[in-house]
Amino acid sequence: MTKIRMTPQSSGERTQRSGLLALGLLLGGVFQVGNAFAQSAPKPDWNTADIPSQAGRIFLVTGGTSGMGYEDAKALAGAGARVVIAARNPARGEAAIARIREAHPVAQVAFEAVDLADLASVRALGARLNTTLPRLDGLINNAAIMAPPERTTSADGFEAQLATNYLGHFALTAEVLPLLRKSDAARVVTLSSIAAARGRIDFDDLQSERAYDPYAAYAQSKLAGLMFAFELQRRSEAEGWGIQSFAAHPGVAVTELIERGPGLDSAFGRNWARDRDQYHSPAQGALSTLYAATAVEAQAGQYYGPAGDDERRGPLGLATVPAAARDADTAARLWSVSEDLTGARFPSRKR
């Protein structure tokens, strides 16, 4: 169970106003961003039938018991990979495995418990995997929470969205880096969101202690993840880690994220539900991640997502990179702060 304590720092009125504003942010609106990197775009109609054989490859998928994480695990197992689903709830994990095996009877899939909002749990998972796995060929940093109305904190005292969506994955990546380096073609895919376009890394109030806006905190966490994906690629190249880092976002997909976050009865939830038939299914939302994780043509350091309707849905393409995510100096500072906060350390020739 996630160890979370409540700290009442937002009024219902402010949350509702923020929710209505964020609806335009997350489900549409105009991006204040730069153009996508000049790289070749994926085939627009790429789908799971195009996944090359993953036989002999080992993947770790966080949040793989439902939504897009489940679809990632299912597709990878169907392509022959050995898949480890890492999530909080063992019962949901076993149910997910049973569903995957209904579709793929010989699927190699297992469950490992982890709470990304508890760094002790992340370290314990890393220790288990480093003992039991020969290597890791792919890590999909997928798990997320979105916009809880009241500010909550993790077991380590961090704002819950920053902890779950970013810091937990930062620490997990460091923990399993030795396994990734044993692979001859390791990939790390970190999930971001179109919300990252409105995000800002507020080093003066990183934990939203002075003022908590649930949607701003969500956007910050997703921008942090996107910056991490790019910085991980830069450092892998500089340090010779031999891994490839990618970022992806699903557009807007119909998952449990809204129900578990702002709630279906919130102003945001009601507006989202009204248009939900227009959005991606979890399987459609997972395609950008699966492309980054498996496609031979996928390019390290790239950001993939749907290419239509302000990137909320549509065929697979290159995602637009927010201007803030291009700031290498801020990304390096965020990396250093994240190491200090989590205690995680990546190998460096400078140390």
| Sign, Cα dihedral of 239, 347, 244, 326 | negative
Strands 303-308 and 313-318: antiparallel
Task: Output 133-136 pairs: Cβ under 8 A, ≥24 positions apart.
Answer: 133/58, 133/84, 133/179, 134/58, 134/182, 135/58, 135/179, 135/180, 135/182, 135/183, 135/186, 136/58, 136/59, 136/60, 136/176, 136/179, 136/180, 136/182, 136/183, 136/186
CB burial string 40-55: b at 16+ within 10 A, e below: eebeeebebebbeebe
Determine which one of 218, 279, 291, 303 is catalytic. Answer: 218
88's tokens? 């909080």
190's tokens? 């970190």
The continuous run of DSSP H or E covering 17 comes out as: helix 12-26
For residue 322, the number of C-alpha atoms closer than 13 Å in the C-beta half-sphere is: 27
> For residues 147 and 272, is the Cβ–Cβ distance under 8 A?
no
CB burial string 282-317: b at 16+ within 10 A, e below: bbbbbbbbbbbbbbeebebbbbbbbbeebbbbbebb
**Catalytic-residue membership of 303:** no
Q: For tokens 């910056």, name the residue.
A: 227
Task: List, in sequence order, every residue forming a beta bridge with 151; answer none if it has no partner.
Answer: 7
| R_g (Cα) of the chain, nearest Å | 19
Instruction: Report DSSP letters for 127-171, one per residue.
Output: HHHHHH-S--SEEEE-------SSEEE-TTSSBHHIIIIIIHHHH
Active-site residue list:
218
